[in-house]
């Protein structure tokens, strides 16, 4: 059985292009399984996986749980609101107590950047990062790039725009790392206050002109304004953001070509994206969600074989 080069999936930073290709090839096979009348395989029978979510989630949590169940794993779910970390227990103690109940793998979302990397040094189980604060969201980047390839083929040399609140977005960082490994050209666009100063050092173009950026790209991945992570106001108001940077039908109609529209969710309709764009034939937003299950099945399957 082919396996990944890493024991954990902490971020796209740590994995190779060969790992990404292996995940995609495996996900293609699992996507076929998911389109069969019986959508289940025994690959992870007798493996127990705990999903620890210390931050809200709809897509990622349900997608991981479905992926685990489609692989016949045993699954336990745990959320911050019911956790003993509220009583002062450390994250390491919480996870080691869960592992003592013969849990094999941990899928975790946590608000602190680096929480997974720290945990991986203190526990004996594979750790999969389902989002660590503003840092990385590796399975989102993998499902995004997989969905892009399905739509436009090889990403080498393709122009991919990431627009919106890049500063607070773990999706943006993981997408940039993944897309660069696959040879895509990446541009970010948004208000100057929401574009981090270091981003150009990652080999990414920066623009503050949304119309020019849409005309440049083959694919636009639209991000939400993350008000919950903004301790100060980075934009005057959502209405002004929408007027200056929101993706609407008239902007798309003004382009001389068709582009693919993506969004990782959750969407704020009428802010960063209008409904007539999100629900249009150019949008692959729900295909991204569908592909998320196959990508997560692939990651779980490949990492499960890595247990020492």
Q: Which has the closest alpha carbon to 4: 293, 292, 298? A: 298
Residue 94 annotated among the catalytic residues of the structure: no
Looking at the DSSP assignment, which residues form a beta bridge with residue 74?
48
Residue 224 annotated among the catalytic residues of the structure: no
Cα gap 133→230, rounded to integer Å = 12
Contact 193, 165 (CB under 8 A): no
Q: Which is nearer to ligand CP, 59 or 151 (CB)?
A: 59
Residue 90 annotated among the catalytic residues of the structure: no
Residue 60 Cβ vs ligand CP, minimum distance, rounded to whole Å: 3
Tokens of 245: 């940077």
Residue 60 annotated among the catalytic residues of the structure: yes
Q: Which is nearer to ligand CP, 43 or 144 (CB)?
A: 144
Residue 306 annotated among the catalytic residues of the structure: no
Q: Which is nearer to ligand CP, 31 or 137 (CB)?
A: 137
Residue 265 Cβ vs ligand CP, minimum distance, rounded to whole Å: 5
Sign of torsion, CA 32 35 40 44? positive
Residue 228 Cβ vs ligand CP, minimum distance, rounded to whole Å: 11
Residue number with the smallest Cβ distance to ligand CP = 60
Q: Which is nearer to ligand CP, 35 or 58 (CB)?
A: 58
**Which residues form the interface with ligand CP (CB under 6 A)?**
57-60, 131, 137, 140, 264-266
Cα gap 293→114, rounded to integer Å = 24
- CA angle (102, 108, 114) in 5-degree steps: 120
Residue 47 Cβ vs ligand CP, minimum distance, rounded to whole Å: 22
Which is the catalytic residue, given 8, 109, 158, 180? Answer: 109
Q: Which has the closest alpha carbon to 53: 114, 131, 109, 115? A: 109
Which is the catalytic residue, given 48, 60, 134, 139? Answer: 60
Residue 168 Cβ vs ligand CP, minimum distance, rounded to whole Å: 13
Cα gap 82→44, rounded to integer Å = 27
DSSP states of 134-160: TS--HHHHHHHHHHHHHHHS--TT-EE
Residue 171 Cβ vs ligand CP, minimum distance, rounded to whole Å: 7
Which is the catalytic residue, given 8, 31, 70, 137? Answer: 137
Torsion, Cα 129 152 254 267, to 10 degrees, reads -20
- CA angle (252, 270, 131) in 5-degree steps: 95
Cα gap 110→114, rounded to integer Å = 9
Active site residues: 59-60, 87, 109, 137
């Amino acid at each position: 059985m082919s396996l990944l080069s890493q024991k954990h999936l902490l971020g796209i930073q740590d994995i190779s292009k060969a790992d990404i290709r292996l995940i995609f090839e495996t996900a293609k096979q699992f996507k076929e399984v998911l389109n069969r009348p019986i959508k289940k395989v025994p690959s992870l029978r007798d493996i127990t996986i705990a999903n620890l979510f210390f931050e809200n989630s709809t897509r990622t949590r349900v997608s991981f749980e479905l992926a685990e169940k489609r692989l016949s794993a045993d699954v336990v779910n745990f959320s911050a609101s019911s956790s003993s970390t509220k009583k002062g227990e450390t994250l390491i103690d919480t996870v080691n107590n869960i592992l003592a109940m013969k849990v094999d793998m941990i899928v975790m979302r946590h608000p602190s950047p680096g929480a997974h990397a720290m945990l991986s040094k203190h526990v004996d189980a594979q750790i999969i990062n389902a989002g660590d604060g503003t840092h990385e969201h590796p399975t989102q980047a993998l499902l995004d790039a997989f969905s892009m390839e399905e739509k436009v083929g090889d990403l080498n040399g393709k122009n991919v725009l990431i627009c919106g609140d890049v500063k607070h977005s773990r999706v943006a960082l993981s997408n940039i790392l993944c897309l660069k490994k696959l040879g895509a050209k990446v541009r970010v666009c948004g208000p100057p206050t929401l574009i981090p100063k270091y981003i150009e050092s990652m080999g990414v173009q920066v623009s503050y002109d949304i119309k020019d950026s849409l005309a440049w790209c083959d694919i636009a991945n639209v991000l939400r304004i993350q008000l919950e992570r903004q301790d100060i106001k980075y934009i005057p108001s959502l209405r002004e953001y929408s007027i200056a940077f929101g993706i609407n039908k008239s902007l798309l109609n003004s382009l001389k070509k068709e582009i693919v529209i993506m969004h990782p969710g959750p969407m704020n309709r009428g802010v960063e994206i209008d409904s007539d764009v999100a629900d249009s034939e150019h949008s692959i937003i729900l295909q991204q969600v569908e592909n998320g299950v196959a990508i997560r099945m692939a990651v779980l399957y490949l990492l499960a074989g890595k247990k020492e």
